Amino acid sequence: MQTKTKAAIAIAICAAVVIAASYRLYFIREDKGGTVLWNKNEAYFFIPISRRGKHVSSLRYAWFLAKEYLGAIEPADDDRESLAVVRVTPSRVENHMLPQTDLRPGSGPSMYTPRKGRIYANCPALGGLCVWIGDHFEPAAQEEQRGFNGIEGLTEKDFDHGWSSSGFNSGFTINVGDQFTLSVNDSPMETENGAISIDLLRPGKPPERIWDLSVHKGRVSKTEYQHAFGEHEIEN
C-alpha cells in the first residue's frame, strides 16, 4: 500500500511539473515619449512607441523574476516599434502611424528640424538625413544632404523663424498663434499603466480629444499578447 501511495505521489508531482512547464505567462512593456514642433499656423507631434514582449513557462517564472531583480534582463521574445505622427492645423487634424516595417527597432527618427518649409530628421533606418513627406519619411536628396552637412545641421538654432520645439513631460499646453491651443497630458509609468492624450481647445468650443494612447507594463493574457504582436504562432 505504501508503495502504491509513493507511486501516486510521484505521478502527481510529475504531472504538476509537466503542467507548469506547459502553462505560459505573458508580459508586455510599452514605452513612450514624444516631440512637438509648432509655429503660429500648425503643430506636429512625433510620438515613438516601443513595445516589448516576453513569455515564460510558470515552471521557470521564479527564476525569471530573480534574474530581472539581479539585473540580468532576458532579451524580449517579440518587439515592435512604431511612430505616431499627429499634425494639427486650423482646418484639420491628421493622424499617421508608421509601423515596424517602416522603422527598424531602435532606428526611429530623431532630431526633428523645421527648415525651408519642411520637417527634417535623422533617420538611421533610411541612411541618415530624411524629410517628412505628408505621411512618411523619405531619404533627403543629395543637395539637401550637402546643405545639412549630413545630419550636423539638425539643431534648434537652425529652425525656421517662428518654430518652437518641446519634449513631452507630465503635462503642458502650447498656443498655436491665436488659432487654437493644444493640451498634452503625459502620465508617468510609475504604475502598471500610463497614457498620453492630446486635446484640441478652440475659443468658444468644448475640448476635443484628437489623440490618445494607453500603454501597459506587466502581465497580460495570451489573447492580449497575440493582439499586440499579431496572430503569429506562440510557443505553448
For every residue of 39-52, DSSP letters joined together read -SS-EEEEEEEEEE
Q: Looking at the predicted structure, is the pLDDT value of residue 9 above 50?
A: no
Residue 58 domain-assigned (yes or no)? no
Residue 38 domain-assigned (yes or no)? yes
pTM for the predicted model, two decimal places: 0.79
Instruction: Report d(CA 145, CA 198) in Å as an integer.
Output: 33
Confidence class for position 15, pLDDT limits 50, 70, 90: very low
Residue 55 domain-assigned (yes or no)? no
| Contact of 73 with 54, CB cutoff 8 Å | no
Residues present in the chain in total = 236
Confidence class for position 210, pLDDT limits 50, 70, 90: very high
Instruction: Report d(CA 45, CA 38) in Å as an integer.
Output: 9
Residues facing residue 48 across a β-bridge:
83
Instruction: Report d(CA 112, CA 134) in Å as an integer.
Output: 15
Region at 215 (left for phi over 0; alpha for psi -120 to 50; beta for the rest): beta
Residue 15 domain-assigned (yes or no)? no
Confidence class for position 219, pLDDT limits 50, 70, 90: confident
| Contact of 96 with 109, CB cutoff 8 Å | no
Instruction: Report d(CA 211, CA 197) in Å as an integer.
Output: 6
Residue 156 domain-assigned (yes or no)? yes
Residue 71 vs residue 56, higher pLDDT? 56
Q: Looking at the predicted structure, is the pLDDT value of residue 108 above 60?
A: yes
* Residue 187: burial class (beta carbons within 10 Å; 0-12, 13-18, 19+): middle
> What's the whole-number average pLDDT of the chain?
80
Which residue carries 544632404 as its cell? Answer: 145
Quote the number of domains for the chain. Answer: 1
Residue 213 domain-assigned (yes or no)? yes
Please give the residue range of the domain that contains residue 132: 30-49+80-225
Residue 72 domain-assigned (yes or no)? no
Neighbours of 129 (CB within 10 A): 25
Residue 219 domain-assigned (yes or no)? yes
pLDDT tens string 113-169: 999 899 999 998 888 999 999 999 999 999 998 888 888 888 877 799 999 999 887
Q: Looking at the predicted structure, is the pLDDT value of residue 65 above 60?
A: yes
Cell of 107: 532606428
The DSSP 8-state label assigned to residue 77 in this structure reads: S
Which pLDDT value is given to residue 75? 80
